[in-house]
Every structure is written in structure tokens, then in C-alpha cells.
Amino acid sequence: MLDNAPMKSWAERARAVLPAGGFGNFDPSMFIRSGKGSRVWDENGKEYVDYLIGSGPMLLGHGHPEVLEAVAEQLPKGMTFFANNCAGVELAEEICRAVPCAEQVRFLASGGEADMYAMRLARAYTGRDKILKCEGGYHGMSAEAQMSLAPSSMVNFPQAVPDSAGIPEAVRAEMLIAPFNDPDYLESLLAEHGDQIAGMIVEPLQRIIPPAPGFLQAVRDLCDRYGIVLIFDEVVTGFRFAYGGAQEAYGVMPDLCTLGKIIGGGFPLAAVAGRKDIMDHFDKAIVGADRWLMMLGTLSGNPVAAIAGLKTMEILRRDGAYDLLRSHGARLMKLYSSHLDAAGVAHRIVGHETLFDVVFTGRDVLNYRDVSQADAARNARFNAVLREHGVFKSPGKTYPHLALTEEDFELTDAAIAKAAEAIAGD
């Protein structure tokens, strides 16, 4: 049984046993006790409308009854086996039906693992070593992914800047960095290094920044020209933008993609999916020992997560689900812009109806450097006031979801009005 203690007490206990007092994910002063539908409650009993939703996976809201029922039916049958199970095969089949690039699937436990293996798979397939990513792109916690994720110094491209201690210098030498939404720079970079690059990994929507018209197709064309494996990181956008993900929504198909969050229905599950001739490198019988990519994972494809994901995806296939999600997002975007405009606060609403946020700047946002030059102090104050008034969200993202109600929108409207008023004089 958990002690019935206030958040301050839990924070003190956490600091004693957890580095920096938390799990490394979110504000360590926040302790969420429970969630149901569109709401969460903290350990002090305060209730919030939840726009964090576990950083994206709870697209149906917390504790959807049909998902709970499916999971409850599976639990007595077993939680994990380290062996094939039928639910995992069914989930792989559904991913292959839904996602344009997916001919085969390999499951993992987290999106960061999926990104790491996708980059390694590109190297195995091409026999090349270098990986190209966009500055500010988030692709998990591997050494390669922790290059130029959030650099504090703006060095010249394509130099990589490590964002973490403990990364060997040799990793930096194998990473090239390009600005998002700049096809001209990308073309010049590949003219010099294209024959050395195994793969390019990119978020189709980089954090919240949309691709400029034609950018993703230009990336696709350049990767084809130089024989580079194009990887879409769809851990966030997969089954959120559309049932087939951002690649369906934008009409550009990568060679590989990574998936996570929604495909596990709130449980740990992720996947690499893509062309069979590339995925064959997971099969030693096809490619031989020298070209085989070894991959093991204790919880990869576990039946509880697979069952939860299958039920979540079934619900998302129902008529009107994505229309409702986009409608909710558009309504939230309008609330942000109307109150901030009325308060005279310079800002941009950046993103897609299904994933976006406010950036406090007077200029258009096309890449990481545009975001980094925005007013971070104003952003922090705005989000703090939202939380004070019952709106729980990430510092840099708003996740619309299907559980939102009219009452939620009314509370959110009032909270945004208070937050806009609070920062108007800053």
C-alpha cells in the first residue's frame, strides 16, 4: 500500500533515492495519483484536465473501459513469455495493413530502442557508417540520438554537438547534422557526404514543427539519389496524425519507420517497421552471420501490450475518430490564439491539429533555432499559470485526445484566459 502523504513528502523521499528526485521525464515535483478519462489527480487531490496524457500514448484517455476489459481478460493468461504470442502477430499484421512503408515489423519495448535499431539497421543494410539527423530532432537516448537534440551553442552545420556526458568522441564523427526544413542545405551536404551516409532519421513533424511544403518529398528524393535509408521517426505521430501516421497524412513513404506510444495502448511497446529487404537483416538465415543484426528484448511484443494496442487501434478505426480528434485540436488552437491575441502577446501556434503548442515569438517557426530564440521565460510562466488553474500539459506540447468533454473545454478556456492575462505584462 502507498502512504497517503502529500506531494511535498513524496518529493523529499524521491530525492533520497532517485537522481534529481525523479524518473528523468517530467517535473519531479508532480506526483500523479490516478487518471480517468480526460482527467488526472495529483497526490494532493488536485484535479486537472490532462493534455500530457502520458506524453502521447493515451489517445483514448485514461482507463478506456474497452481497453481495460481486453487487458483484464489477458492478465490471467500470462503477462509475458519471451516467446511468440498470437496477439503480437495480430498486432504486426494490423500495423502492416495500416502503415504504408510497413512490410514487416520487429517489436521492442520503447521508442528509443526502436530508433536505435532503425539506425543500426540502416548501417547493416548499406554497409555505411554515418547517420544524418536534423538539429533539434528527438530520437531517443542512444549516443547517436543525443547529438544536437538541444544544443546550447549554435555551431556550423553539419557538426554534431553531444547533448550528454558519456558519449565517445568517435560517435560524433559518424553523425552529420542538418537544419530541418532546408532542402537546399541538405542537397549541398549530400553532394559532399552522400555516399558515406547509411540513413537519415527525421521526425515528419519535428517535435511540433511542421514540414514546409515539399520538404519531406525533397528528403525522399535525395535519399533515393544517394542510396540512403530514409527513416521516419513516427513514435509520436504514428496512429495520431492519421491511422497510417504522418506518412499517410503527408503522402511521403520512408524506407523504415519507428512506432511507439499508441501501438501499446498505454503499455511499453514499440516497433521498427519497413521494407522487407531491409528488415531481412534481422533474419540470420537470409542475410548470413556477417550481415545479421542481433536484437533481443525481454518484453518485446508482450501479450498485454499487444492486446491493449489492438483494442486501441480497433477503436481508432471507428467512423469519425480522427475527425473528432482534429476538431478537438483545432478548437484548442483557437482558444490559445484568441486569448493571446486579445492580450497582445506575440506568439505562434505551431504544429498539427493532433499535436501542437504555443511558441512565444513574433517570427515564423521553421526549425530548432527558431524555437530556441523564443521567449522561454514567458513560456514557463504561461504553463505554470495553466497548471495553477487545472490544466496539465508538457512545457512544449499540447496533446489533444478523444476523451475531452465540453466541461474540459470550458475549464481550459478559462485557464488559458488567466495565463494570457498573467503574461501580458511580461
- Class of residue 262 by CB neighbours under 10 A (exposed 0-12, middle 13-18, buried 19+): buried
Whole-angstrom distance, CA of residue 394 vs CA of residue 52: 6
Strands 197-202 and 229-234, by their bridges, are parallel
Marked catalytic residue, from 50, 182, 233, 375: 233
Catalytic residue among 138, 243, 250, 368: 138
pLDDT mean across residues, the chain: 96
CB 76: neighbour CB atoms within 10 A? 7
284-334: pLDDT as tens digits: 999 999 999 999 999 999 999 999 999 999 999 999 999 999 999 999 999
The pLDDT, as a whole number, for residue 1 is 42
Q: What's residue 5's pLDDT?
A: 67
The closest of 262, 273, 267 to 322, measured between CA atoms, is: 262
Model confidence pTM above 0.85: yes
How far does Cα 10 stand from its chain's mean position?
Answer: 28
Q: Indicate if the pLDDT at residue 198 is higher than 90.
A: yes
Reported as a pLDDT band with limits 50, 70 and 90, residue 110 is very high
Query: What's the angle, vertex CA 353, arms to CA 64 and CA 34, rounded to 5?
Result: 30
- Whether 375 sits among the annotated catalytic residues: the reply is no
What is the per-residue pLDDT for 425? 77
Question: Is 368 one of the annotated active-site residues of the chain?
Answer: no
One DSSP character per residue, 182-220 reads -HHHHHHHHHHHGGGEEEEEE-SSBTTBPPPTTHHHHHH
Place of cell 547517436: 144
- Residue 4 has a pLDDT of 61
Q: 117 an active-site residue?
A: no
Sorted by where each starts, the structural domains of the chain and their CATH numbers stand as 31-63+320-423 (3.90.1150.10), 66-316 (3.40.640.10)
For 253, phi and psi rounded to 5 degrees?
A: -105, 125
1 versus 79: the higher-pLDDT residue is: 79
pLDDT of residue 257: 98
Catalytic residue chosen out of the listed positions 130, 133, 261, 311: 261
Q: What is the pLDDT of residue 6?
A: 81
Q: What is the pLDDT of residue 152?
A: 86
